[in-house]
Amino acid sequence: MKIIMLGAPGAGKGTQAKMIAKEYGVPHVSTGDIFRANIKNGTELGMEAKKYMDQGLLVPDELTVRILLDRVAQEDCKRGYVLDGFPRTIPQAEVLEQALTELGDQIDYAIDVDVPDENIIKRMSGRRACLTCGATYHIEHIPPRQEGICDTCGSPLVLRDDDKPETVKNRLDVYHKQTQPLIDFYAKKGVLRTVDGTKPMEEVFGAIRAILA
């Protein structure tokens, strides 16, 4: 069971990826986590990636795929994995497909968590964060007991820059230009499955479970 999660920022694909990993006993493979682990452990691939990151450059697709393949070649990925955060573009998808084909492998499902932009902007602009202890809330779905105050440590809650409507809109514009074409790419491969991400979290997961059954 080799799965790629697709969806706009704030669509909830990361949450669903973790739920799939837990339910089916396969690793949740996030490219951000892999980079951090390789750099922390001082691996050859990690040090190569760090050279680009230290200069504020994007890590080349070929190197990212090498780091990714190194991760999915590990024993815990034998039964499958859930990729979260990669690929983000068509060139990345093509490099990944070629590398997997050379290993006699392929992606089983690309699951798109579909949420309209206006829902995402509303969802993310309702988030509030405590910068002191890291707790997160939502003014509608997970409100603090006292408005604007963290339940855990009593510090003020803030709307992070990343969650401001104008920032979210910019991120969505980038997503539609770069990542949206992946939906067509995987549809042509016959592995795309779409779920309605506007539903409650458990209902979305139920739809994914039905796909994987």
79 is catalytic: no
Q: Per the structure block, which two tokens stand in for 177?
A: 């230009």
13 is catalytic: yes
160 is catalytic: yes
- CA angle 202–207–211, rounded 5-degree value: 140
123 is catalytic: no
122 is catalytic: no
Q: In what order do the strands lie in the sheet with 127-130?
A: 136-138, 127-130, 157-158
From the list 18, 50, 66, 88, the catalytic residue is 88
From the list 22, 51, 79, 160, the catalytic residue is 160
From the list 2, 71, 123, 127, the catalytic residue is 127
Nearest to 2 by CA among 69, 56, 61, 95: 69
From the list 18, 164, 171, 199, the catalytic residue is 171
By the 8 A CB rule, do 6 and 13 touch? yes
Nearest to 136 by CA among 125, 146, 128, 144: 128
- List residues with catalytic annotation: 13, 88, 127, 160, 171
